[in-house]
Amino acid sequence: MARGGVMESTDVLIVGAGPVGLTSAIVLKQLGHDVTVVDAQAEGANTSRAAVVHAHTVELLDRYGVAAALTARGVHTPVFTIRDRDRLLIPVPFKDLPCAYPYTLMISQADTEALLLARLRELGGEVLRPVTLTGLTQDAGSVTATFKERDEIRATYLVGADGIHSTVREQAGIGFSGGTYAESFTLADVRLSGGVPQNEVILYFSPAGLVVVAPLPGGLHRIVATVNEAPREPDIAFVQGLLNSRGPEARPAVVHEVIWGSRFRVHHRIADSFRDRRIFIAGDAAHVHSPAGGQGMNLGVEDAITIGEILARVLDGASADLLDTYADTRRPVAQKVVALASRLTALATAGSTRRPLRNLVLGLAGKLPPVRRRLAWQLSGLDRRRFVPKR
C-alpha cells in the first residue's frame, strides 16, 4: 500500500522507456489517456544500438508527430543491397514504394529515443527514473505494480516494453521459446573511407560470416557482424579485419576511427503469448531475432502503436474483446519476421562449398523485378500494413 494510504493510479502503466515504451506512451497520450512510464535506468540510453527505421515505421510515427523530426535528422538511404565482396547479388531499391518515405532511414537509437521523449513531453508525459519493477498482481479490474524505489502503482492495463530480459514477461509467467545463435555479434560506429558504396545499406555475405555496413548521420557508418567471440569494445584493428575479410576487395574500406562499439548475443525467441489478462508485452520483451534485415526495433514500434491504439479504444468504451486482436495479430507477424531474419542469416553464413550455388541463384533472382519488389515490401515493412489497425 502506498504511503499515506492512497495508491497512485493510471490508465496504462508502461514499463520500459526505449523506443517501444515511448511510442506506446505517445499514442495513448495523444489519444487522450493517462499514462505512467517507468524505467529502471537512471537516465536514457546514450548508445547507438538499433539504427534502421524502415518506411512503414516512419509512416506510422507520422500519425503521432514524430516523423518530421526523425526524417530531418536521419540519413535517407534509397537502396538495400546484398553483396558477396565486390559482386552485387541483389539490389533492393525503395524509391518506387507507394509511400511518403521511400527509403531506409538511418539514425542512431539514441537520437530516436531523444526525439520520441521530446514528443512525449510535448504531450505532457514524462518518464519516472530509476524505477525498478519487482512484482505484479492482477485482479478483475486492474494491475498493481510494486517497485524497489517507490510506492505501488495501480493501472487499468500494463504494457511491458522492458526488453529481452523482461521482468514483466517473467512476472506474468509467459514463456520465451527459441534459442541463441552460436555466434556473437559485434557492433561499431566508425569513420571510414574507401570502397564501401554510398547511399546503401549493404549486407555482405561471406563464409567468415555476415557484415552489415550502413551510413549514419555525421559521416559515420554502422558495422554489424557475426563473429565467434566478439571483443567487449572493438577497436580499429578488429573492425578493419572484418572489412578486409568480408567487405569490398577491389577498393578496400579503411577504418579511421571507432566512435563506439559493443558486443551482444542474438537470440531467436518469441513469447508463448503476448498477453496475460491485463498485461501485454511488446518489442524485445515479446520477440528477438538476428539483426539481418534491420527489423527488430521496427517490429517493436509496430507493436507499440497497435497496442496503444487498441487500449485507447477499449478505454474509450469499445468491447474488451478487442484486446484479443493484439496477440492474435502481432504474434504471427513476429513469427514471420523472425523467420525472414533467420533465412538471411543462414544465407549470409553459407559455407564455401555452398557459396557458388548460392551466389548463382541469388544473382539470377536479383535480376527479376518481382523478386526485388517483394524484398522491398518485406524489408520496408509495408507488407505488414494490414496487421496494424487503421486509426
Question: Helix, strand, coil % (nearest 5) of the chain?
Answer: 35, 30, 35
More confident residue, 290 or 215: 215
Q: Parallel, antiparallel, or unpaired: how do β-strands 8-15 and 153-160 relate?
A: parallel
Within a domain: 347: yes
Query: How many domains does the chain divide into?
Result: 1
Within a domain: 200: no
Within a domain: 331: yes
Residue 312 pLDDT: 97
The stretch 342-348 carries a mean pLDDT of 67
- CATH number at 27 reads 3.50.50.60
Residue 1 pLDDT: 45
Residue 133 pLDDT: 96
Span 303-312, pLDDT tens digits: 999 999 999 9
The stretch 109-136 carries a mean pLDDT of 95
Dist. CA 118–CA 44, nearest whole Å:
12
Within a domain: 105: yes
Of 191-195, 275-279, 330-334, the range with the highest mean pLDDT is 275-279
Span 163-193, pLDDT tens digits: 989 999 999 999 998 777 667 788 999 999 9
Within a domain: 371: yes
Name the pLDDT band for 104 (thresholds 50, 70, 90).
Answer: very high
Question: What is the extent of the structural domain holding 97?
Answer: 3-178+268-387
Within a domain: 254: no
Interacting residues of 50 by C-beta distance below 8 A, sequence separation 6+? 19, 109, 112, 294, 296, 297
Within a domain: 193: no
Within a domain: 255: no
Residue 147 bridge partners (DSSP):
133
18-32, 41-55, 207-221, 225-239: lowest mean pLDDT where? 41-55
Name the pLDDT band for 227 (thresholds 50, 70, 90).
Answer: confident
Name the pLDDT band for 288 (thresholds 50, 70, 90).
Answer: confident
